[in-house]
Chains A and B, each alone.
Chain A
C-alpha cells in the first residue's frame, strides 16, 4: 500500500515536472519570436533592393535610387576608427584593473565610473563628442571626431569583457609563472593575455558591433546627410549606414520603401555578421582551451 502511494506521488511529480519544462520551453521560444520576426521581415522587404549596383553605387535622384556604397564604406571606416581608438585604451585599462589595481576605494570608484559610462544614453555621447572633439579640439565634423566618440562609448564594453576574460585565467598560472622567475609583466604578456585573448576579442567585436549600428553619437560628430564624393582624409565627414537609414526613412519625401529596407538589411547583415564572428571565435577557443 505504501508502495502504491509512493508510486502515484512520484508519477504526479514527474507529470508536474514535464508540464513545468514545457512551460519554460514555450516561454524561451517566445523570446526568439521577435528577433526572428524582425530579421525575416527586413529580409523579405529589403532583399529585392539588393543588387551589385545597390551595394557599389552612389545614391542618385536625391537618394531615391542608385546605391548606398558611400554609407557602407563609411560604416566600415568608422568601425575601424573606433577599433583603433578603443582597443589599446580598453586593453590597457583592463590589464590595470585585473592585474595591478589594489582592491581599494580608488579602484572601486574607477569600476563604478565604467559601469555608469555603459549606462549613458548614446545621444549624450554625441553631444559630448560635439563639444570636445568637434568644437574644442577643432577636429570638425569628421571621421576622426566620430570614431573617438564611438570609441568612448564602446570603452566600457571592451574594458569589462576584457577584465572578465583575464580574471577567468586561473590564478595558479600566475603563481607558477612568478615562481619560475618571470616578472609580473612577463606573466601578463606570456600567460594572461594569450589565454584571455579569445574573450578579449569577443568583447571588442561586441563593442564594435554596437558602434557600427549607432546613429546618435555620429549625428553631430561625423555623419553627413549626403556627400557626392568619398571622404579622403580622417578629417572629412562621411556617410554612414545608420544615419543614412534615418535620413531616407524620415527626411526624403517619396522614398521607395525597398531602398529603406535594403539599407536596413545591409546594416543588419554587418552587425549580425560581427556577432556571428564573435560566437565562432568564442566556441573555437573553448574547444582549444587546456584548462
Chain B
C-alpha cells in the first residue's frame, strides 16, 4: 500500500530559493524511502510539505496533490487549507538534522507531544516513555535517570531521544532530515539500526547525510536535483544501475 502519494506537486518560496517542480512520488508503507541528492535540491522542502511545517515558511506558490492514506484506504488531503494541521503533525512525526532537545527533562521531552494533545493519564504517559525509548534503542542508557535534563545526554543519545520523542506520539509516518549529520560513526550505526527495526511499524522517509547512508538504508530511493525528481526506483537498483546519467554522475561522485 502507498502510505503517501504526491502528484504533480510544485512549490516556490517568495525569495525564489529552493523550489520543487512537478514532483510525483508514491511512498510505500512500512519501508524506508530515501530522498537523496546534492544540497538545495528540495529534499528538506519535500519533507516539510508532508507535515505542513512549510506553513511556517514564506511559500508563494503551491500546486498539485499530496495524499495521506489510512489503513482502511480512506484519503486525507494534506494540502487542504482547512486541515487540522496539529493532528496531522501528530500522525507524521519529524526528526531534524541537529538534535534539538527541549529544555526539559528526558521524560518531559518524551511526553510533551502527548500532553499537548490532551493526554493526562500518567500511566499511559509512563508507558509511552518506556516504549518509545525502547524503540529508539535508548531505554537501557537512560532508564534510571529519566528526570535528568535532556541536554546532559551525549549528541548521539539526544538524537535518539528526538526519534523517541516523535515515536511517543505513535505516528504513522516519520520524517528524518539528515538525522545523523552531527553524529559519530558509532551513534550513526545505532540510529540506522533502530530505523531498520522501526520500519516494521512505521512508514519512514529519510533524507540521508551521505550517499553511503542512502545505499545502506534505502528500500526505495528518489534522486532530487535542483527541485526536480530525476529518478525513483527500488533502493538497490538506483545505486547499482542508475538509469539517468545525472543520477549516475552524482552517485559516482562527479558532482555534489
Inter-subunit contact A291/B103 (CB<8 Å)? yes
CA distance A178 to B98 in the complex (A): 16
**Residue-by-residue, is A165-197 near B (CB-CB < 8 Å gives 1, otherwise 0)?**
000000011011111111100100011000100
CA distance A67 to B51 in the complex (A): 68
Inter-subunit contact B86/A183 (CB<8 Å)? yes
Inter-subunit contact B149/A180 (CB<8 Å)? no
Inter-subunit contact B112/A175 (CB<8 Å)? no
Inter-subunit contact A181/B151 (CB<8 Å)? no
**Chain A contacts of B89 at CB under 8 A?**
178-181
Q: How far is the CB of A2 from chain B (nearest CB, A)?
A: 46
Say whether A31 faces chain B, with CB atoms less than 8 Å apart.
no
B113 partner, pick from A172, A182, A191, A289, beta carbons under 8 A: A182
Inter-subunit contact A186/B56 (CB<8 Å)? no
**Chain B contacts of A182 at CB under 8 A?**
86, 112-113, 116
Closest to A291 in B: B103
Q: How far is the CB of A137 from chain B (nearest CB, A)?
A: 42
Say whether B63 faces chain A, with CB atoms less than 8 Å apart.
no
Q: How far is the CB of B163 from chain A (nearest CB, A)?
A: 12
Considering the complex, which residues of chain B in the window 78-94 have a beta carbon less than 8 Å from any beta carbon of chain A? 86-87, 89-90, 93-94
Would A173 and B116 be within 8 Å (CB), given that A180-B165, A181-B90, A290-B149 are in contact? Answer: no
Would A177 and B102 be within 8 Å (CB), given that A190-B116, A291-B151 are in contact? Answer: yes
CA distance A182 to B56 in the complex (A): 13
Closest to B162 in A: A176
A interface, by DSSP: helix, strand, loop or mixed? Answer: helix
Say whether B169 faces chain A, with CB atoms less than 8 Å apart.
yes
CA distance A179 to B56 in the complex (A): 11
Would A179 and B51 be within 8 Å (CB), given that A190-B116, A290-B149, A290-B151 are in contact? Answer: yes
**Chain A contacts of B151 at CB under 8 A?**
290-291
CA distance A181 to B118 in the complex (A): 11
B interface, by DSSP: helix, strand, loop or mixed? Answer: helix
**Chain A contacts of B201 at CB under 8 A?**
none
B86 partner, pick from A172, A173, A181, beta carbons under 8 A: A181
Inter-subunit contact A183/B116 (CB<8 Å)? yes
Inter-subunit contact A172/B103 (CB<8 Å)? no
CA distance A179 to B90 in the complex (A): 8
CA distance A160 to B162 in the complex (A): 34
Considering the complex, which residues of chain B in the window 37-74 have a beta carbon less than 8 Å from any beta carbon of chain A? 51, 53, 56
Say whether B139 faces chain A, with CB atoms less than 8 Å apart.
no
**Residue-by-residue, is B95-123 near A (CB-CB < 8 Å gives 1, otherwise 0)?**
01010101100000000110011000000
Closest to B149 in A: A290
Inter-subunit contact A191/B102 (CB<8 Å)? yes
Inter-subunit contact A186/B116 (CB<8 Å)? yes
CA distance A91 to B137 in the complex (A): 42
**Residue-by-residue, is A249-291 near B (CB-CB < 8 Å gives 1, otherwise 0)?**
0000000000000000000000000000000000000000111
Inter-subunit contact A289/B116 (CB<8 Å)? no
Inter-subunit contact B113/A181 (CB<8 Å)? yes
Q: How far is the CB of B139 from chain A (nearest CB, A)?
A: 20
Would A181 and B87 be within 8 Å (CB), given that A290-B149, A290-B151 are in contact? Answer: yes
Closest to B175 in A: A179
A176 partner, pick from B86, B102, B149, B169, beta carbons under 8 A: B102
Closest to A191 in B: B102
B102 partner, pick from A173, A178, A183, A186, beta carbons under 8 A: A173
**Chain B contacts of A177 at CB under 8 A?**
102, 112, 116
Inter-subunit contact B53/A179 (CB<8 Å)? yes
CA distance A259 to B244 in the complex (A): 92
CA distance A157 to B197 in the complex (A): 54
**Chain B contacts of A191 at CB under 8 A?**
102-103
CA distance A166 to B113 in the complex (A): 22
**Chain A contacts of B90 at CB under 8 A?**
180-181
A-B contact pairs, 18 of them (CB 8 A): A173-B100, A173-B102, A173-B103, A175-B96, A177-B102, A179-B51, A179-B89, A179-B93, A179-B96, A180-B89, A180-B113, A180-B166, A181-B86, A181-B89, A181-B113, A182-B116, A191-B102, A291-B103
Interface residues of B (CB under 8 A from A): 51, 53, 56, 86-87, 89-90, 93-94, 96, 98, 100, 102-103, 112-113, 116-117, 149-151, 165-166, 169
New A-B contacts (6) at CB < 8 Å, excluding given A173-B100, A181-B117: A173-B102, A177-B102, A177-B116, A179-B53, A182-B86, A190-B112
The 7 closest A-B CB pairs, nearest first, are: A180-B113, A181-B90, A290-B103, A182-B116, A181-B89, A179-B94, A172-B100
